[in-house]
């Protein structure tokens, strides 16, 4: 019972809450105001915000929700006229719905089992998160193939442009376009913080950034699959080269060793590589903490189209980066990725044999369910906020540790 709530119309003279500040824009397009599917006797339902059922202003009914896969009764209650009954759980559940007249509970007047085959379905991904979108997208295709549904997918237009030609069976839409749709079902992919298990079946910190999407969509196959992108462009640089990305959205994501990048770039250049930095910005930070393009790297930074970055990444001997979006982009280009991260555990990202982490010091706070990430604190370091060894998770990743992984790739490339 605690997993579900009944939403009724407010009393006509109920005072509105005082807004002390501008409300935040919703991350996802809101579902249609009314459930889109017609049942019987003025009852309407859909699966656009969990299972939701709207009852008419006249008549009294009993509403029953079931989980068809577990054969569990989830909810059974008499409802008042005009009520909307809505499941709290918003991730994929194969719901069964039964509606009875209150005066006759022997046979339902309406019964419906969720079936996505041939139906209009919307999957929404947050706008502005490159790594998250790449991490989640292969699960979107797997969902469409499993259920044989007519799938629309909402995401940032610049990322949709990477996928559109590769996935003709998926309709790509913007957030504004998604708001105008009237699908049978909607599922929202995201990282839901604070231990939220209403929008995700498992805390994402325990299952990993990308695999949480598979769990939200109820998929059994949550293995790593590279999203398809266009890798057909001709090679642009004749010399052998390595691509790096040193910037991130939070200081805990950076490689905080004082001479790390300088020594790695120097090593790569001693091996005859050109070293190209493809970050969006040459410097980023706040207050007295600023991070600059690594000394000795060639400046390929700028707000470049993502396809232009792919055209550069795909022919690199390797990519060296952080737990950030460009590492995910390099991964889907099938380039060897040296991934430097201390604040995440290995479960968080795609599998790479060239991951660099020092487990002998404080690490893995992002995946620690006792630590809630603060998006507004650029210097977030939950366990050592005021300590001298703040960010020791990556301060203790030495240049040697990274160069050792680079040498493994060099040896493999030489053997091939």
Active-site residues, by number, are 132
For the stretch 370-381, what's the b/e string if a residue is b when 16 or more beta carbons lie within 10 angstroms of its beta carbon?
Answer: ebebeeeebbbb
Pairing of strands 120-124, 185-188: parallel
- Helix 130-147 vs helix 325-332: crossing angle, to nearest 10: 50
- How far is the C-alpha of 243 from the C-alpha of 300, rounded, in Å? 9
Q: How does DSSP classify residue 104?
A: B
Residue partners of 49: CB distance under 8 A and separation at least 6: 31, 86, 90, 186
For the stretch 45-82, what's the b/e string if a residue is b when 16 or more beta carbons lie within 10 angstroms of its beta carbon?
Answer: bbbbbbbbbbbeeebebbbbbbeeeeeeebbeeebeee
Element holding 74 (H helix, E strand): strand 72-79
Q: Are 330 and 313 in contact (CB under 8 A)?
A: yes
- Bridge partner residues of 337 (DSSP): 319
Q: How many residues does the chain have?
A: 416
CB atoms inside a 10 Å sphere around CB 118: 11
Q: How does DSSP classify residue 314?
A: T
Q: How does DSSP classify residue 280?
A: S
- How far is the C-alpha of 396 from the C-alpha of 414, rounded, in Å? 30
- How far is the C-alpha of 102 from the C-alpha of 122, rounded, in Å? 34
Beta strands in 343-393 (DSSP E): 355-356
| Collapsed DSSP state (helix, strand, coil) of residue 97 | strand
- How far is the C-alpha of 156 from the C-alpha of 229, rounded, in Å? 16
Q: Are 174 and 153 in contact (CB under 8 A)?
A: no
- How far is the C-alpha of 248 from the C-alpha of 316, rounded, in Å? 21
Q: Are 377 and 242 in contact (CB under 8 A)?
A: no
């Amino acid at each position: 019972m605690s997993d579900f709530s009944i939403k009724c119309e407010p009393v006509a003279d109920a005072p509105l809450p005082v807004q002390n500040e501008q409300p935040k824009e919703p991350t996802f397009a809101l579902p249609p105001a009314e459930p889109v599917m017609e049942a019987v006797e003025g009852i309407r339902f859909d699966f656009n915000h969990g299972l939701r059922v709207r009852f008419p202003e006249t008549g009294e009914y009993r509403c029953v929700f079931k989980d068809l896969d577990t054969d569990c009764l989830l909810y059974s209650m008499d409802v008042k006229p005009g009520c909307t009954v809505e499941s709290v759980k918003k991730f994929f559940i194969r719901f069964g719905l039964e509606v009875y007249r209150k005066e006759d509970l022997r046979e339902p007047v309406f019964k419906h089992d969720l079936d996505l085959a041939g139906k209009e379905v919307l999957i929404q991904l947050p706008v502005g998160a490159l790594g998250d979108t790449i991490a989640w997208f292969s699960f979107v295709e797997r969902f469409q193939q499993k259920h044989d549904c007519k799938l629309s997918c909402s995401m940032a237009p610049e990322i949709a442009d990477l996928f559109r030609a590769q996935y003709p069976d998926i309709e790509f839409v913007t957030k504004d376009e998604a708001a105008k749709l009237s699908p049978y079902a909607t599922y929202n992919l995201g990282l839901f913080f604070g231990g939220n298990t209403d929008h995700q079946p498992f805390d994402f910190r325990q299952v990993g950034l990308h695999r949480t999407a598979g769990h939200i969509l109820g998929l059994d196959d949550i293995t790593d699959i590279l999203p398809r992108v266009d890798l057909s462009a001709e090679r642009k640089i004749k010399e052998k080269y390595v691509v790096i990305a040193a910037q991130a959205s939070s200081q805990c994501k950076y490689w905080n060793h004082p001479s790390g990048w300088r020594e790695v770039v120097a090593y790569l250049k001693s091996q005859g590589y050109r070293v190209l930095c493809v970050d969006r910005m040459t410097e980023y930070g706040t207050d007295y903490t600023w991070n600059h393009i690594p000394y000795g790297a060639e400046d390929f930074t700028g707000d470049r189209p993502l396809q232009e970055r792919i055209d550069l990444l795909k022919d690199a001997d390797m990519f060296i980066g952080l737990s950030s979006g460009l590492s995910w982009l390099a991964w889907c280009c099938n380039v060897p990725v040296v991934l430097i991260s201390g604040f995440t555990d290995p479960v968080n990202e795609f599998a790479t044999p060239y991951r660099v982490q020092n487990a002998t010091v404080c690490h893995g706070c992002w995946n620690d369910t006792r630590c809630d990430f603060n998006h507004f604190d650029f210097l977030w370091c939950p366990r050592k906020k005021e300590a001298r060894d703040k960010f020791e998770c990556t301060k203790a990743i030495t240049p040697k540790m990274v160069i050792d992984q680079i040498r493994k790739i060099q040896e493999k490339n030489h053997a091939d």
